[in-house]
Structure 1
Amino acid sequence: TNKDKIGLSPELRAEFLDIINPAKENTQNPWKGEPVRWRNYCLLLTMILGGNRKGESLGLQLNHFNLVGPSSCRKYFEIIKVDQITSGYPRKEIPSVKTKGRQIELSDNFAAIFEYYITNIRPKFKNSTKSTYVFLSLKDGLPLSVNTPNESLKTLIKKHPQFEKMLTPHILRNTFHDLLSEKLDSTLDGHGPIAKQGIKTTLQEYAGGWSPGSSMVHKYPKGSIQRRVGELHLALQNKILEETNDGN
């Protein structure tokens, strides 16, 4: 639907991030229990901050994350190409991934969130040591079923009806692309309209894991595109943190 093509408004975006904060005292959070709150928080952050498709997030494994080291060290998680993600996924329905591989830069704050979840929360899930997947089911310790992200968001909508028809995994990914587009418009102000559109398309394609539809992609060395997109990821993450009420 057309609604699916747009992201959350800035007001709903800030509200959403406050709601999903996993803190015990956050009464707005609709999910029960610390493990599920933290799992859903990190899972949804990969979509709204990383621009992940649902299947890409479900397929994330522990060795796809690089989170430790001094603040000068790059922190990121890696989206692996489709064939490597879906082979061996132990559910009837396998997450579909239509993407090229890419790396998602993480600010120190967000790297610390994922590190905390992986080190302190994920071990509370059944059979966590037997699985390499990051996001596990509380019931059986297997990686999540394809419907879990949608069901989790439906639970949120029940408690917060202002999100009715406004919230799906795809809309979260679109929210990331809206943020990216706003940021690019402001950082590329000095360029003429044609050059600006070319650079913007190239960076958006790389950030979204799309196949290049524009010849501009070939005019940039891959490292320079990756670096520019990495800088954008970090800027967006800092902007999102500023938007939440208490910055936590």
Structure 2
Amino acid sequence: MPELDRLASAAQYRVEDLEELTEDTSNTPNVIRISRIGLRKTKVADSRASVDAATQASRLRYISDFLEFFSGYVGATLCDAERKRLEMSTSFALKAFREHIPTVSKRAKLNARIGLSEQEQHRLLEVINPESSLNPWTRGYVRKRNWLLIVLLLASGMRRGELLGLQIGDLNAEAPKLRILRRADTEKDPRRIQPCTKTFDREIELARPVMKALWDFINNDRRAIKRARTVPQIFVSDEGAPLSHASIDKVFFQLRSVFPGLPMTLTSHVMRHTWNERFSEKAEAMGVSETVEERARNSQQGWSDNSRMAATYTRRYTAKKGREVALKLQERLDALTNKN
């Protein structure tokens, strides 16, 4: 039960915010012993914020289902008396474990995460411009790198882990395209917690100016860092090490801290929401049908053909269209009222 309690507690945090309190002697650096889980110490306290209740609940349900399955799997190898004792113990333990699952209201959507408005996006790009006096970073390399990674997030809608996993070899040298690939526990990645791609492999086409800026960064700014020349990952620190999840979180934490005019909810994942909302707006302006738009979005985001994930990432756009329809209804009501 103590291990299950610690596991339930850990489920409210992101994996990269957890660390093992004792050295792991195994050869699998991504394995974390449940009994020794603790919170990673960091100066950026804001980056250790809990995941939302829905994510925590989903994790705990999956864990509970797996433990129940595994108990049954082991029980099948035991004699009747031992199997019954195991079933009783499992039932008691999982009942207590499931008490940790938070209640998630399907109605509580007012504070759900949304993308940036056009004005907020413009303000963000104005602040992070490498030549801007508003830019919060002092070193030229860091200014250029942080500007580029945020532009890439806005241009592609990729996840933070996908951005960190990008390698120079993923870029097409003959066309403005890059590949987002799933890589699990690659030997060429020295990070203890390796970034991962949660969606399907896919190819993304970038605007030529964005691709040109990316190659310019690689061939000039990044190349000037000698230790980075042996690292396949594109985004590295000014010492040549691949950036971590915490590094990306720190970029957005610094932006939120220095410029109160930017949304306090500004994170790398808000860039993904922003891309999806701009995608919906452009699709509507181009007259793209809903079916084609849905398939095109799923392809661009690496989702399955029948995925319904778009609803999660287009809340602002959906709310806007809902308001427009509601106001039209009210105009009709006003017309009927005035006649009377």
Asked if Structure 1 and Structure 2 have the same fold, meaning a TM-score greater than 0.5 normalized by the shorter chain, the answer is yes
Q: CA deviation at 1:48?
A: 0.8
Segments of structure 1 that go 5 or more residues without pairing to the other structure are 69-73, 190-195, 216-248
The CA deviation at 1:35 is 0.8
Q: Residue 91 of structure 1: which of 180, 188, 191 is its match? A: 191
Work out which of the residue numbers 150, 157, 180 in structure 2 matches 1:79.
Answer: 180
Cα pair 1:48 1:172 within 8 Å, conserved: yes
1:213 matched to which residue of 2? 306
Confirm whether residue 120 of structure 1 aligns to residue 228 of structure 2: no
Q: Give the match's secondary structure for 2:178.
A: strand
**Is 1:163–2:271 an aligned residue pair?**
no
- Answer yes or no: is 1:201 the counterpart of 2:300: no
- Work out which of the two has the higher radius of gyration on C-alpha atoms and give 1 or 2: 2
Counterpart for residue 5 of structure 1: 113
Q: Does 1:16 align with 2:127?
A: no
Residue by residue over 1:19-67, the C-alpha shift from the partner in whole angstroms, topping out at 9 and shown as x without a partner, is: 11112xx111111211111111111122111111000000001111125
The residue identity in structure 2 corresponding to 1:142 is A
Name the structure 1 match of 2:278: 179
Query: C-alpha distance in 2, partners of 1:103/1:120?
Result: 25
Q: Which residue of structure 1 aligns with residue 230 of structure 2?
A: 130
Match of 1:60 among 166, 177, 183: 166
Q: Does the Cα contact within 8 Å between 2:123 and 2:262 map onto a contact in 1?
A: no
Runs of 4+ off more than 4 Å? 1-4
C-alpha distance in structure 1 between counterparts of 2:284 and 2:263, whole Å: 30
Per the normalisation by structure 2, the TM-score is 0.55
Q: 1:128 to 1:13 in 2, by over 3 A?
A: same
Q: Which blocks of at least 5 consecutive residues in structure 2 are unaligned?
A: 1-51, 53-108, 309-340
Specify the SS of the correspondent of 2:193.
coil
Paired with 2:112 and 2:166, the residues of 1 have a C-alpha distance of 24
CA spacing shift, 1:5–1:151, aligned 2, 3 Å = same
Cross-structure match for 1:192: none
What SS does the corresponding residue of 1:77 show, helix, strand or coil?
Answer: strand
Aligned to 1:38: 144
Give how far 1:160 is off.
0.6
Q: Deviations over 1:108-157 (max 9, x none)?
A: 21111111101110023350111111001224x12111111110111111
CA distance in 2, matches of 1:211, 1:51: 16
Residue 150 of structure 1 aligns to which amino acid in structure 2? D
CA contact (8 A) 2:165 2:195 kept: yes
Distance 1:185 1:114 in 2: 29
Q: What is the rounded CA distance, in whole Å, between the counterparts of 1:16 and 1:164 in structure 2?
A: 10
Does the 8 Å CA contact 2:157/2:275 hold for their aligned counterparts? yes
* 2:265 paired with 1:142: no
Q: Which amino acid counterpart does residue 278 of structure 2 have in structure 1?
A: L
Q: Which residue of 1 aligns with 2:56?
A: none
Query: TM-score, length-normalised on structure 1?
Result: 0.75
Three-state SS of the structure 2 residue aligned to 1:184 is helix
Higher relative contact order by CA 8 Å / sep ≥ 6: 1 or 2?
Answer: 1
Q: Distance in 1 between matches of 2:113 and 2:178?
A: 25
The number of residue pairs the alignment matches comes to: 199
Q: Which residue of 182, 204, 209 maps to 1:104?
A: 204
In 1, the alpha carbon distance for the partners of 2:112 and 2:204 equals 23
